[in-house]
Structure 1
Amino acid sequence: MNGVWLIRGRDGRLSVYWHTQEAVLCRAERIPGGSWDAPRRVGGDQKVQPGFALGQGPDRYGHLIAWRPTRSGESGLVHSTHFRPLLAALDWQPIGHPNKTGERTGTPAVAVDAEGRAYLFVRNRGKGVHTINQKERGGWNTWHDLKGSKVGEELVAVTAESGLVEVYATSPTGVLRWLQEEPGARPLAADPLDVRIEPGTLNALPTSKEHTTLFFSDPEGMLHAWRPDGDPVPLIAAAGPGPVSTVRCDLNGHDCTLLAQRSSSGRVAFAAYPTEQESAGLWWTESGPALPAGTRVAVVEDAEGRVAAASLTPDGVLRVARQKDEPGLALAAWREV
């Protein structure tokens, strides 16, 4: 999966998504904060390949993008919209291929703008980036080549607080990025960030009306935060491999950025600091049981404004912990659901 996989729906229910046995599955709370339903298949009976993307707009509808096999040796991208967690998602609808035909070229990324239009980004056959976006009244526009060179497998797409879409990619020289300048426009290339980066560690979080903060680890395992008006700031040694999950939340009346990651011990590690004030410092605190390699971790605010954390093991075991009603970031016990 790419991007978020734990979201809060329009009705306040949390839902999670993951890929297994040629399908994307979804589980959702029956009521906000309550028990969870059984896994359900997303998008109908079509088979889809591993490596889907999930994005969410201000309307809190979920947009899913995946590759599906079309014929021998070829694949195409498909899209589904999930309006409410307990309703069935729409059937997968074809979008096409960045190079018209061919095999899967990279893990897609998706962001949804302020008008609810999904923007899909994917690496193409030449290891540049292609994009396509929904029209305002249904359907999709044509594919557009954003260029780029030697782009890595995974991209990161995010919608800024302005409602404009941004996309980030790694290359051997650092981070490439493309930004929208006005609603409905194609993202344009912005100045790249020349930095040593460990592939597969990018995460982007809108942290103010002006800025998106980019998080990444360097090859030595140091986690960094970067905004375009400054240099990358070393934060703390990463708790484990892969990207951190991030969310802005209220802690004791302060706007804070919370990081979560599966640590090298296998437990879930949390760290928080005042948003955009990296100089305040932070440290990891571990929580819950040791989890197997490949477990994904995510954090989100629930319908009551509490932090909700989730872990999902490769075989689909879901555990959830919620913030207690007390000062700080004390979590209730993790429970398997």
Structure 2
Amino acid sequence: MNGDWLIRGRDGRLSVYLPTDEAVLCRAEQAPGGPWGPARRIGGEQKLRPGPAFGHGADAYTHLAAWRPTKPGESGLVHSTHFRPRLAALDWVPVGHPDGSGDRTGLPAVTADAQGRAHVFVRNTAGGVSLRAQKQTGGWEPWRDLKGRDVHEQLAAVAGESGLVELFAAVPGALLHWRQEEPGAVPVLQEALETSVRPGTLYALATSAEHTTLFYAEDSGDLCAWRPGAKPVTLLPSAGPGPVSAVRCRLDGHDCTVLAQRSASGRVAFAAYPTEQESAGAWWTESGPQLPSDAVVALALDEEERIVAATLSPSAGHLLLTRRKDEPGLALDAWREV
């Protein structure tokens, strides 16, 4: 999976998106903070390839992108929109292939701008990045080649608080950052930062009206935070080998960023610090049971702006959830299976 798979909808209910071998399932709260309903298949009966992407914009609609088999040895990208958790998602719509035809080229990434237009990014056969964006009046713009070279498979797409779309990608020895210069424009390469990057560890989060922060792990294992236009900051050692999830919230009246990651011990590790003030320091605190090695972690805010954490293990099929208690600090309820 790529992107945020735990998402709060416009009606305040939380949804989780669960990939299977050939589909994406969705489970949602029956009411905000209430019991969870059964899993439902997203987008009709279209068979999918592994590795779907999830994203959302200011309108809180969920956008999904995935590869589907088209003919032997070839694949094409499809897109779906899920407007509200209690409604069925739209059927998968073909988006095509960045090179016209061929097999899967990398994990897609998807986000939506301030006007609600989906932007689907994917690595192309030449090793750069391609984009296809929705038109405001319906349909899709043509594929755009954003260039790049030797781009790693995972991309991180996000819409900043301004609604402008940004993209981060890792290449050998560097990070690349693309950004729209105005609404509806094609994102352009703004900056290349020389740094080592552990593949598969990118996570981008809008942290202020002016900035987006990219979290990534260096080859050394240190977790770093980078805001384009400034130097990266080493935040703390990674708790484990996988990606982090992050959310911005208020803790005891302070604007904070909370991180979560599956730790090397198999539990979920949390860290928090004042948003965009990495120099204040952060440290990990572990929580919950030991999880399988393929477990992933996601963070979101519920209708009451409380932190919610979820873990999903594709091999075990277990979905676990916890919420922040109404207490000072980052105290959490007991983890429970839903």
TM interval, shorter chain, is: over 0.9
In structure 1, what is the Cα distance between the partners aligned to 2:117 and 2:20? Answer: 27
**SS of the residue aligned with 1:249?**
strand
Give the CA deviation at 1:256. 0.1
Match of 1:234 in 2: 234
Alignment of 1:200-239 (within 5 A): 200-239=200-239
Match of 2:322 in 1: 321
Alignment of 1:70-109 (within 5 A): 70-109=70-109
**SS of the residue aligned with 1:190?**
strand
Match of 1:334 in 2: 335
- Provide the aligned C-alpha RMSD in A: 0.8
Q: Which runs of 5+ in 2 are unaligned?
A: none
Match of 1:277 in 2: 277
Match of 1:148 in 2: 148
In structure 2, what is the Cα distance between the partners aligned to 1:335 and 1:191? Answer: 43
In structure 2, what is the Cα distance between the partners aligned to 1:17 and 1:193? Answer: 33
Q: What letter matches 1:25 in structure 2?
A: L
The superposition leaves residues 230-268 of structure 1 with CA deviations (integer Å, 9 ceiling, x where unpaired) of 211111110001211000010000000000000001100
Match of 1:114 in 2: 114
In structure 2, what is the Cα distance between the partners aligned to 1:57 and 1:278? Answer: 26
Q: What letter matches 1:161 in structure 2?
A: E
Q: What letter matches 1:42 in structure 2?
A: I
**SS of the residue aligned with 1:191?**
strand
In structure 2, what is the Cα distance between the partners aligned to 1:194 and 1:302? Answer: 37
Tell me how many residue pairs correspond in the alignment: 337
Match of 1:163 in 2: 163
Match of 1:194 in 2: 194
Q: Which runs of 5+ in 1 are unaligned?
A: none
Identity between Structure 1 and Structure 2 (%): 65
Q: Decide whether the 8 Å contact of 2:105 with 2:125 is kept in 1.
A: yes
**SS of the residue aligned with 1:121?**
strand
Give the CA deviation at 1:74. 0.5
**SS of the residue aligned with 2:279?**
helix
Q: What letter matches 1:257 in structure 2?
A: T
Match of 1:249 in 2: 249
Give the CA deviation at 1:316. 2.4
Match of 2:132 in 1: 132
Match of 1:301 in 2: 301
Q: What letter matches 1:168 in structure 2?
A: F
**SS of the residue aligned with 1:120?**
strand
Match of 1:290 in 2: 290
In structure 2, what is the Cα distance between the partners aligned to 1:65 and 1:135? Answer: 16
In structure 2, what is the Cα distance between the partners aligned to 1:63 and 1:111? Answer: 7
Give the CA deviation at 1:137. 1.2
Tell me whether 1:69 sits opposite 2:76 in the alignment. Answer: no
**SS of the residue aligned with 2:178?**
strand
Give the CA deviation at 1:205. 0.8
Q: Decide whether the 8 Å contact of 2:132 with 2:142 is kept in 1.
A: yes
TM-score by length of 2: 0.99
Q: Decide whether the 8 Å contact of 2:256 with 2:275 is kept in 1.
A: yes
Q: Decide whether the 8 Å contact of 2:177 with 2:228 is kept in 1.
A: no
In structure 1, what is the Cα distance between the partners aligned to 2:226 and 2:55? Answer: 22
Runs of 4+ in 1 over 4 A off after TM superposition: none
**SS of the residue aligned with 1:68?**
strand
Q: What letter matches 1:19 in structure 2?
A: P
Give the CA deviation at 1:19. 1.2
